Structure 1
Amino acid sequence: MSAVWTKPVEFSPADETDTDILVASCLAAATQGDLSAYFDLGVAYSTGSHGAPCDLIEAHKWFNLAAVAGYEDAAHCRADISDEMTAREIAEAQRRAREWIAATSRKAA
């Protein structure tokens, strides 16, 4: 899988707190519906980078949200990590994606 962090990083994090801020800023952008933030979170969780733990369920969730919204590369990344996941893990990722959609659509309404 060849994924790239799409948000430009203008500094090199000096410690773990700074990297946590990168993930937090992507989460904030994702809450606003930023598709590249969905993809960036998928990359972060699939690689364990930018302050995120390696978590394929979370990665699948974020790639799935980005893919459903039309981000083509996300569908490829989701398929790649699905090969390393069990059916239960994929089902959990899909459940989390549905919860995210429900939670963010309530805020918008």
Structure 2
Amino acid sequence: MHWAKKAALTKQVRAASFYAAKNAGVLRCDKVRVTLTWFVRTTTRRDADNVVPTLKALCDGLVDAGIVPDDTPREMDKVMPVITYRPGQPSGLQLLIEEVHDHAV
């Protein structure tokens, strides 16, 4: 993909994450865990790391929305994307955002 086209797509994904978080009323957190699930309709072999750039853009959108101050490991645990086979269901992506409470021992 041409770099300009890729940059435009990344910008759209980042903005979608920003607006989804704002519209859902996600509150500011000290730390979150994010998990991206890729729902697929066929059993075609796929690599979970193929959607890591999408996860990165989604996480940047959460930072833009003020959910966390940054997407470094201190503020955000990024779980490797998960691929879930759902025959007869629409394909799509789901981003789960969970607040993490670190408890010092």
Measured against the shorter chain, the TM-score band is under 0.3
| Larger fraction in strand | 2
Higher relative contact order (CA 8 A, sep 6+): 2
Instruction: Output the TM-score relative to the length of structure 1.
Output: 0.26
| Larger fraction in helix | 1
